[in-house]
Amino acid sequence: MLKIGNIEMKNNVVLAPMAGVCNPAFRLIAKEFGTGLVCAEMVSDKAILHGNKRTMEMLFVDEREKPLSLQIFGGDRASLVEAAKIVDKQTNADIIDINMGCPVPKVTKCDAGARWLLDPNKIYEMVSAVTEAVDKPVTVKMRIGWDDEHVFAVENARAVERAGGSAVSVHGRTREQLYTGKANWDIIKEVKEAVSIPVIGNGDVFSPEDAKRMLEHTGVDGVMIGRGALGNPWMLYRTVHYLTHGELLPDPTPKEKMEIAILHMDRLVSLKGESTAVREMRKHMAWYMKGLPGSARIKDNIMEETGRDNMVAVLNQYIDSLPEDAHKPISVKWSDDEAAAQ
């Protein structure tokens, strides 16, 4: 069981806060597939304070998703605190997460995201200011370091703990690595041994067996799954079941994958309107179709579709065209290069 502050999850599997992915449509599917905690994509503190319509929509939480963590980022203490207060009092999120792992330049140039990894004192200052201003548990998601020469994961996690943080999630790569190379689980283990607050491990978890190995190797309290769940929420369900019962459930069939892909799209349509939802679903459809037999021949059609009904027709025609022996469970494996590209 994973417990963060006074929020208790039903299991220790966590959906990572992926930008452009973790909106309510996908988060709800992840929750329905058994995930203990789902995390929303990061939102800028200044965007929250400006209160524009799109940002406020990003703060929406469906009650069925709970418990849920809303992630914010920023480099200025005053604006970060004020944004956290809005999340604390004006949303029904359960946890406020602070991003100090995002590697993209437009974030780090604002002294936010992974930039904090270079300064444990700044981490303490910022996190303590937020924890003192809000009632909800405050957590931090970080990487192990900025680059190989600046790996301060243990010092940074201790700063989070001293500042009143209720948990820390650690991605086992540096900012310089982005999503390439291998995640360093040894450093995640060092963090777990150095603090008493819950630690959630993240990085290179693409199968239920990976999740179990991470838990056993690092001793972490929870395992966070990100890219492994893209187009494959069954990964979440299968991981929960495997960790609970020691049994590996079968992968989904092509038809099952398409049914959930359509459900995902329909929920996006309800949230964002048909035109925006269908455009956004193109990348998700490519992920849902990864590894399916003969899928390459219809991907071009999918990328050109602009209407929901036409997209569904393409998917149904694809399923109907499959030979009988193709209607079997499909296992999705990410190569290092493919994973890095997501």
- Just list the catalytic residues: 102
Q: Residue 37: which residues within 8 A CB-CB, separation 6 or more?
A: 2, 4, 9, 13, 14, 15, 67, 68, 69, 95, 222
Q: Is the dihedral of CA 333, 329, 292, 275 positive or negative?
A: negative
Length of the chain: 342
Phi first, then psi, for residue 72 (nearest 5°) are: -125, 160
Coil/strand/helix, residue 245: helix
Token pair of 283 as six digits: 């990348």
CB 155 within 8 A of CB 120: yes
Longest Cα–Cα distance in the chain? 61
- Establish whether the linkage from the previous residue to 254 is cis, with ω within 30° of 0: no
Q: How far is CA 153 from CA 103, 156, 190, in A?
A: 15, 5, 8
Q: What's the CA gap between 135 and 155, in Å, rounded? A: 25
Q: Residue 282: which residues within 8 A CB-CB, separation 6 or more?
A: 302, 303, 305
Residue environment code for 325-339, b if the CB has 16+ CB neighbours within 10 A, otherwise e: eeeeebebebeeeeb
Cβ burial of 167 (10 Å; 0-12, 13-18, 19+) is buried
Interhelix angle 153-162/185-194, nearest 10 degrees: 30
Q: What's the CA gap between 53 and 51, in Å, rounded? A: 6
